[in-house]
Structure 1
């Protein structure tokens, strides 16, 4: 299954060349990490509202990037490039839409992510996760917003940590919208 959020963000960080506090709402064993079983239990417990199966389009817009050495035009160019890279389309099957896998929000590369908070309460979603980007560094993300049957809207804060650059802070939003039936493959 293709992701709607993190799959878009991790490849976008590669374009730059260049992301946390623990929450225990879903952390049943108290170790500060919410594993896939705890995320699945949280989705069951908090009555996740199913999404509509079909084609979904995600658009990511970065509102701010903190790179003191870059000018305003350079920052805007990077944010535009990241937004272009992060925007995507994906199809949800009937089964995935009724109950997305616990790693639905992690997508490609989710095996490199550690969830520190994961709270789904009806349409409200809040999560914190840290993801490795191989030798390129890591990204810490905090996502909060509302998910509905045909759209979602998340505010996000990202801290990208790069070996040679240090920390780059970014803020933005991700908006997803149901577009209709998936194209025939």
Structure 2
């Protein structure tokens, strides 16, 4: 199986979360898409609680996948591969910890995704985004959870839409924790 779609999900740092009633207050122009300026304004507006600067470790575990045509072992293999790709370590500078970029929550490349919902209020994070996968389809993510100065936990819902396969739907949890100072460069 080709795991190119892992890059669209990969390096996920703080999120693959689900929220049934996300607040779309960030969509100031009402066009249904929350652009980078609207996401930045949302981070400033809703009293984001700063994270601790330093090295953060993110782990993703999927516990459910819906692909009727695959056997249980194949499903587990896909969930494990996506989780491994999405798990990561990343360093936050002092400035980033006070106001991380909105793409921090969606992983590498998330700044190119289309955000349908984006709400960061204090310790609560809710968002929905859709990311194109270089001619292969799309990844839709719904992210919801809580974060604090040194840890976060999110419920995750990921739908990978592949032209020849259909939708691969996965659910799980993403956890993150501060692990110490960033390594010297």
Flag whether TM exceeds 0.5 (same fold): yes
**Deviation of the 1:107 alpha carbon:** 3.5
8 Å contact from structure 2 (residues 61, 83) kept in 1: yes
Distance in 1 (CA, whole Å) between partners of 2:156 and 2:179 is 23
**Deviation of the 1:79 alpha carbon:** 1.2
8 Å contact from structure 2 (residues 151, 177) kept in 1: yes
1:59-105 Cα shifts (integer Å, max 9, x gaps): 00001111101111221122122222221100000100011123222
* Alignment match, 1:100: 100
**Aligned counterparts, 1:122-141, within 5 A:** 122-141=122-141
1:112-147 Cα shifts (integer Å, max 9, x gaps): 300000011110000000001111211010000001
8 Å contact from structure 2 (residues 50, 98) kept in 1: yes
Distance in 2 (CA, whole Å) between partners of 1:35 and 1:21 is 20
* Alignment match, 1:117: 117
Deviates more, 1:73-82 or 1:141-150: 73-82
**Aligned counterparts, 1:1-185, within 5 A:** 9-10=9-10, 24-185=24-185
Distance in 2 (CA, whole Å) between partners of 1:7 and 1:149 is 28
Q: Give me the TM-score of the superposition, normalised by structure 1.
A: 0.87
Q: Give me the TM-score of the superposition, normalised by structure 2.
A: 0.87
Runs of 4 or more off by more than 4 Å in structure 1?
Answer: 20-23
RMSD, aligned CA? 2.1
**Deviation of the 1:54 alpha carbon:** 0.3
Distance in 2 (CA, whole Å) between partners of 1:169 and 1:67 is 7
Deviates more, 1:69-78 or 1:171-180: 69-78
8 Å contact from structure 1 (residues 7, 106) kept in 2: no
Q: Could you list the runs of 5+ residues in structure 2 that have no partner in the other structure?
A: 1-5, 13-19
1:150-179 Cα shifts (integer Å, max 9, x gaps): 001110111110111111111011101000
Measured at CA, do residues 69 and 7 of structure 1 come closer, stay the same or move farther in structure 2, by a change above 3 Å?
Answer: closer
Aligned residues: 173
